[in-house]
Amino acid sequence: MLTETPASKVNALRRCFEGGETRPIAWRQKQLAALESMLRDNEAAIFEAMATDLSKSQTETYATEIGLLYSEIRHARRHLKSWMKAQRVSTGLHNLPGKAWTKPEPLGVVLIIAPWNYPLMLALSPLIGALAAGNCALIKPSEMTPSVSRLLAEMVARSFSRSVVQVVEGGVEETTQLLRERFDHIFFTGSEAVGRIVMRAASEHLTPITLELGGKCPCILTSSADIKVAARRIAWGKTLNAGQTCVAPDYLIALPGTSEVFKREFTRQIKSFFGEDSQNSKSYPRIVNDQHFDRLARMLSEESISYGGQSDREDRFIAPTLLENLPVDAPALTDEIFGPILPVIEVADLKEAIDHINARPKPLSLYLFSNDTDEQRRVAEATRSGTMLINDVVMQFGTTTVPFGGVGSSGMGQSHGKASFDAFSHHKSIMRKPFWGEVKLRYAPYTKRQERLIRLLFGR
């Protein structure tokens, strides 16, 4: 709950920013070092909070939350000096003897609204970019992962001045109050429906936003692929965090000759990951709450299950599941799944697969398993998606040098690495001209001769 008004929190951050102390590289490096130390000092507590909220194993928590953050921090600290440098740009002949450059400047006070599925990483990854760019930040973690939310608030309070970073816990009411305040940037990760609410609120102050949303991420499997490797990688991506991943493969489009082999190999890989009964595996997470469990359970119609389908509401467990022969209006084919359920659709050829994708909203990510360079080129050129990954899933998200973001209903803006720095920066253009070298060509009264010269100057 808010123990002080949102305005007072934002004002404390704004006073720090307007005082100018966030601009030097030394301040930014200090904040990034403090963030890294905060994570190292609290690893055990983070493991415990993740296990409480999502039943995540220590290994998965490190790989998908803490480790990715360490990598982002190191990358930012290593490259920050070059990111902050001014960049010379051409002025054009008509501005000679002037000089021009662009200079990245911090935006000010930013709001980061984080989701529940990766509650630590998706709160702190944007913070890395915000601090590297010289901003002050307010973080709103998800109330659906209360243990992580509480721990995040405690860690930030111990590690940062309240004039630099603050955390506001709570639910819809607290988020609504925060969105009434003026921020200089809002970074939101979550559903398309809530993204629309955030965008409307931001428009009241003309606040720029980054939206990382979701959608149905398709996965195409062609006969040229190594289906055994494809099945292993898809099974991993679909069960990571029990499928509660915005870039998880949402459904499989199987080309002729692939479906039966894939289903057999997928089943074998799931058993190799989690044993005969995945509910007894310590490596298999749980669904975040009863509401999401019930939503997923409604997708499990017996006549469509080709593998898996077991569930336990009390344990919030849903087994890795393959669905097939679904009607076109089935929820698993129309709604974002966000769980360990993989529908399989069979198509006649690659054109039908491409047409199926293009008839739907642009996905956050698109996956293609193919060893044919012509197939790779055709899919890359004929489809639109936030990111595309060939012969793997999810791994593009954890690569700091690869910008990540959606397009259309799957989001706007990009993050990770320098893209995060740029998202929280304004690249101000500066041009300087001396008092000498005055050219009278631009001044009235105008003559035909001036017009001819101006046309030559602009290349016409």
Q: Show which residues are catalytic.
A: 212, 246
Q: Which amino acid, one-letter code, is at 63?
A: A
For residue 283, report the phi and psi dihedrals to the nearest 5 degrees. -95, -5
Please give the span between the terminal C-alpha atoms of the chain, in angstroms, as a whole number.
64
CA 155/CA 209 separation, integer angstroms: 26
DSSP H or E run through 322? strand 321-324
Whole-number Å distance between alpha carbons of 247 and 63: 16
Backbone phi, then psi, for 165, in 5-degree steps? -140, 135
Residues 218 and 366: their CA atoms lie apart, in Å, by 5
316 in Cβ contact with 289 (< 8 Å) = yes
- Strands 317-318 vs 218-221: parallel, antiparallel or unpaired: unpaired
- Cα 175 from chain centroid (whole Å): 20
HSE, CB side, 13 Å, CA atoms: give it for residue 391.
12
Let me know how long the chain is: 460
Residue with tokens 């659906």: 144
